[in-house]
Amino acid sequence: MARTALAVVVAALLALPVACGSVGRGLPCGVATKQPGTGLSVQLTGAPAVAGGRGEWCTMSRGVNRVVLGVLGHSAVVSRTVLYLSDVEGVDGSALSWIDRNLVQRGFQVVVGCYSNAFGPESVPCPNAPDLTSSVVGVTMLLDAAAAMPSAQPLGVVGVLQGGVVGLMAVAGRSDVRAVVDDGGSPGTLSLFGLGPGPALTGPTTLHASVLVLGPDSPAFDRTFEGALRAGGTPLEDFAYLPRSNGPLTRDAGVGSRASSDAVGFLESELR
């Protein structure tokens, strides 16, 4: 009887799908094909030290450019996947903690990655990614990989500081992204890093996503950004100006709770 029961258990285990890090995923990071999009390949890789054991990690290559992508959490609900685009510090422990607390624990599947080779030493390393002036290339690679995940349709984006504006630039013209949260990004944040304005910032756009902008209430923030987005045809859901002492609004010591709540509520409303 014991041998029969053991045989049944073994047979059941063998019948499960082969997975890379979570049940039901046959290919790395949940991507539906090893070559999603034009010329983009995906391979499983080890977790970076900063991840602290979180998630499943892959390298995405297109031509000479290679970025690192991680998938945190896994939701059976197909419309709750978010691509998180960090600021110039990169995906560090602070960003991962915010993602865990505000997105993964709320049932979102979160795709994180590095889109530039200029990120800080305490972040996910990405030495073969595009340089900072070609950030849109790296973000587009991450978007293409995320869009190839069956559970990521429709897709949301959260971009922090320059990640928010580069995210808007990369999303322009795409129909597979439904919602974008821009946390503190404006054209001014891009000029600090030698990045010029893209089509999503300078004229009529083909942005199909609803956009929530969390703007710092400070003279340093480009107050013409809201007008430029509206004039360009961006479907701006809301533009909230909040006081900021340091860093992204969602991780600010004073207004972080409100900013995070606004961002998550917006994503939950749009990604249904």
> Stretch 164-185: mean pLDDT, rounded?
91
Phi, psi for residue 12 in degrees, rounded to 5: -65, -40
pLDDT band at residue 139 under the 50/70/90 scheme: very high
Percent with pLDDT over 90 in the chain: 43
Q: Is it the case that residue 84 has pLDDT exceeding 50?
A: yes
Q: How many angstroms separate the CA atoms of 223 and 203, rounded?
A: 17
| pLDDT > 90? residue 104 | yes
74-84 mean pLDDT: 74
Whole-prediction pTM = 0.85
- The reported pLDDT for the residue numbered 26 is 54
CB–CB of 236/226 below 8 Å?
Answer: yes
> Facing residues of 239 across strands?
213
Q: In this predicted structure, what is the pLDDT of residue 5?
A: 44
Peptide bond into 121 cis (omega under 30): no
3-state secondary structure the chain: CHHHHHHHHHHHHHCCCCCCCCCCCCCHHHCCCCCCCCCCEEEEECCCHHHCCCCEEEEEEECCEEEEEEEECCCCCCCCEEEEECCCCCCCHHHHHHHHHHCHHHCCEEEEECCCCCCCCCCCCCCCCCCHHHHHHHHHHHHHHHHCCHHHCCEEEEEECHHHHHHHHHHCCCCCEEEEEEECCCHHHHHCCCCCCCHHHHCCCCCCCEEEEEEECCCCCCCHHHHHHHHCCCCEEEEEEECCCCCCHHHCCCCHHHHHHHHHHHHHHHCC
The highest-confidence range among 5-9, 104-108, 233-237, by mean pLDDT, is 104-108
* Chain Cα centroid distance, residue 193: 20
Would you call 4 exposed, middle or buried from its count of C-beta atoms within 10 A (0-12, 13-18, 19+)? exposed
Q: What is the pLDDT of residues 176-197, one digit of tens each?
A: 899 999 998 887 777 766 666 6
pLDDT at residue 265 above 90?
A: yes
The hierarchical CATH code for the domain 17-270 is: 3.40.50.1820
Mean pLDDT over 142-159 rounds to 86
pLDDT above 90: residue 96: yes
| 65-72 and 109-113 strand pairing | antiparallel
- More reliable by pLDDT, 27 or 263: 263
Q: Residue ranges per domain, the chain?
A: 17-270
Question: Binning pLDDT at 50, 70 and 90, where does residue 234 land?
Answer: confident
**Mean pLDDT across the chain:** 81
Which two three-digit tokens encode residue 158? 């959260």
